[in-house]
Structure 1
Amino acid sequence: MKKYFQSIAYIIFIAVTFFAIITAIKSYENPFSLYEHPLVWIALIGLISVVVLKEALNVVAQQKAEQLQMEKEGIKPEDVDNWAWAKKIINKWTEAKAVEEEDEIILDHNYDGIKELDNNLPPWWLYMFYATIIFGAIYLVRYHVLGADNQEMEYANAVAEAKRELAAFKSNSPEAVIDAETAIVLTSDSDLSRGKAVYNLNCAACHIADGGGGIGPNLTDQYWILGGGMKNIFNTVSNGGRDGKGMVAWNKTLKPADIQKVASYIISLQGTTPAKPKPPQGDLYVEEGQNNVTENSVEEQPKDSIQ
């Protein structure tokens, strides 16, 4: 009776734990995160431990039962070959003859006392050889007769599929793929407010809060060292100023969306009147579509930042 209760308890534990784990996997976004959901791992480890322990107890019980049976039949356990099943499989797949049976397959060839055995090919090798023939026939028909996609065609299809997935991702997550080519000037109050906050936190130390320029150049005039406009400003903020001069690259600190917003805020500073504007630096920049005017470079200061 005790065994029945143990079996019932074991089955109930397995069923309840398994159901709880499945429910957790369906409910949690990252069910296998050790830090977020340690109970899932505890349940898994507990379930596996109980199953392994149960099977180990079954194996031990089976071995004891076999020993008792051998004792009743007068068989000594040390006389039993526990690897007989493995040897049987090896013999079946190799068809190797024992040394004492080699006289049955010895050939009449005699080379200076060296004799040859007429062993059969091992079945495992023979079956693999037949499998290669079948594979070769299928490959020939599939790719050279029916014209299935070869490796180059599969690669081209994979690249095309990846491009479609990337396009879908860009359409659904525009902020995740913002770069200098796709960035646009933002004009909403919320975007400019965010851009101003980013500017005051990271840029005002060198360009002054009103954009008039300090260590860095004036951002309110039309002269730019590395070019004006959204594309150039985004690229400069992201990748930094000239080598050995100017500001560092901010692409490791700011997200692309914030770079776009701070660049939009900087563009909004154009035409404003700072308290102490710094003299112009760089070249006069005119947006495409307007008169393409470029004057000679204004003498640059030793250091620059965004422009």
Structure 2
Amino acid sequence: MKKSIQSTVYVIFVIVTFITLAKSFMVYENPFSFYENPLVWLALIGFVLVVVLKEVVNVLAIKRATELQNEKDGIVPEPSNAWIQKLLKSWTKAKAIEEEQEIVLDHDYDGIRELDNSLPPWWIYMFYATIIFAVVYLVRFEVLDGDNQVVEYNKAVAEAKAALNKYKATAKDLITAENVTLLTDAKDLSRGRAVFNLNCASCHQKDGGGSIGPNLTDEYWILGGGIKNVFATISNGGRDGKGMIAWDKTLKTADIAKVASYVLTLQGTTPTVAKAPQGEIWTEE
């Protein structure tokens, strides 16, 4: 009688709570917004927890009742992890301590006796697998002359370079030393001057006369003049160990193109203090 009353109360609670929550969700404009309806969501979460906990209690009660009945009937159920024990036994062929007498060898060394255990199946199967692998490897790379690691690496590098070149050829707005063009728009040159003053003037002076870095106003160039060479020099850096750092990790390629174009506008100007020429005279081909 007591259980029937509890079940009836529980069913009524579930039905009433569900209807109440449903109507609460229908009232709000955004019923699934947690920030607008936190209390409704908390009530929903509480309702779900009550239902789940009730079912867990039922399962535990049934399990306990089954155990008591088995004890009463003298039934010893198989442990839940029995399948694991069977699997381990089949894969190790391990003998229980009570059965070790069957595999004890006759010889005795100062009271130490040896068990005649057989190799575990998992070890044997792995050994067979290594033999099969060795045969396949021998045929693949020695008989059929398959590609070794060096050849595979070179092929992968070649494929990556081909994919990169294809991307460069089709990608829009990708500026490289091969496709860069001289910019003449006033807005681009203004941006180039701003970037130059911020990053380059400390070594080349604002007027390009040169200080630590070379003079940018004369016709002498260490790594070549022209928009492509200047762009490449700014991107990749100057001479190893004593030249300018590479700016491709700091500046965007679009800004490098604008700086390179601005640098070329300094050609032929008269700086306040001009550093002696460095490099060789460069002429456009």
- Per-residue displacement from partner, 1:264-298 (whole Å, max 9, x unpaired)? 233234346x6xx53543228532468xxxxxxxx
2:187 counterpart (165, 182, 193): 193
How has the CA–CA distance of structure 1 residues 220 and 110 changed in structure 2, closer, same or farther, with 3 Å as cutoff? closer
Q: Is the 8 A contact 2:192 2:260 kept in 1?
A: no
In the alignment, what sits opposite 2:93?
Answer: 95
Q: Is the 8 A contact 1:195 1:263 kept in 2?
A: no
| Residues 166 and 269 of structure 1, relative CA distance in 2, 3 Å threshold | same
Q: C-alpha separation between the residues in 2 aligned to 1:260 and 1:150?
A: 43
- Residue type of the partner of 1:72? Q
Q: Distance in 2 between matches of 1:146 and 1:243?
A: 48
Other-structure match for 2:111: 113
- Aligned positions, number: 233
Is it true that 1:74 corresponds to 2:68 in the alignment? no
Go from structure 1 to structure 2 and tell me whether the alpha carbon gap of 1:160 and 1:68 turns closer, same or farther (over 3 Å shift). Answer: same
2: distance between equivalents of 1:162 and 1:111?
A: 65
1:198, distance to aligned residue in structure 2 (A): 2.4
What does 1:277-288 correspond to in 2, within 5 Å? Answer: 277-278=271-272, 280-283=274-277, 286-288=281-283
Q: After superposition, what is the alpha-carbon deviation per residue over 1:219-247, rounded to whole angstroms, capped at 9, x for unaligned?
A: 555466886444664466554899999x9
Q: Retained in 2: the 8 A contact 1:219–1:266?
A: yes
AA partner of residue 252 (structure 2):
K
Q: Do 1:223 and 1:280's aligned partners in 2 also have CA atoms closer than 8 Å?
A: no
Cα RMSD (Å) of the superposition?
A: 4.6
Cα distance change on mapping 1:92 and 1:287 into 2, 3 Å: same
Specify every segment of 5 or more residues in structure 1 that has no aligned partner in the other structure, as ranges: 10-52, 291-307
Shift of 1:67: 2.8
SS of match in other structure, 1:74: helix
Pick the aligned partner of 2:257 from 247, 260, 265: 260
Could you list the per-position Cα deviations for residues 157-189 of structure 1 after superposition, in whole angstroms to 9, with x for gaps in the alignment? 1121122122223223476563xx547451453
Equivalent residue number for residue 133 of structure 2: 135
Q: Determine if contact 2:104/2:116 at 8 Å carries over to the other structure.
A: yes
SS in 1 for 2:150: helix
Amino acid in the other structure paired with 2:97: V
Looking at structure 1, the residues matched to 272 and 71 of structure 2 have their Cα atoms a distance apart, in angstroms, of: 108
- Counterpart of 1:41 in structure 2 is none
| Contact 2:192–2:262 (CA under 8 A) maintained in structure 1 | no
- The SS at the match of 1:149 is coil
User: Are the structure 2 counterparts of residues 60 and 201 from structure 1 closer, same or farther at C-alpha, using a change threshold of 3 Å?
Assistant: same
CA contact (8 A) 1:195 1:258 kept: no
Distance 2:125 2:224 in 1: 71
Aligned residue in 1 for 2:142: 144
Q: Following the alignment from structure 1 to structure 2, what is the Cα–Cα distance between the partners of residues 153 and 250?
A: 34
Counterpart residue identity of residue 125, structure 1: W
Runs (4 or more) in structure 1 with deviation over 4 Å come to 53-64, 75-80, 174-177, 204-208, 211-221, 223-228, 235-245, 247-253
Amino acid at match of 1:286: I
- The answer to whether the 8 Å contact 1:106/1:116 transfers is yes
- CA 1:95–1:149 in structure 2 vs 1: closer, same or farther (change >3 Å)? same
**Structure label with greater radius of gyration:** 2
For residue 155 of structure 1, report the CA deviation from its aligned partner. Answer: 1.4
Give the direction of change, closer, same or farther, for the CA distance of 1:217–1:72 in structure 2 (3 Å limit).
closer
Q: TM-score, normalised by structure 1?
A: 0.56
Q: Which amino acid aligns with 2:143?
A: V
Partner residue in 2 for 1:48: none
Amino acid at match of 2:258: K
Which stretches in structure 2 are left out of the alignment for 5+ residues? 1-10, 19-48
Q: Distance in 1 between matches of 2:147 and 2:241?
A: 49
| Percent identity for Structure 1 against Structure 2 | 45
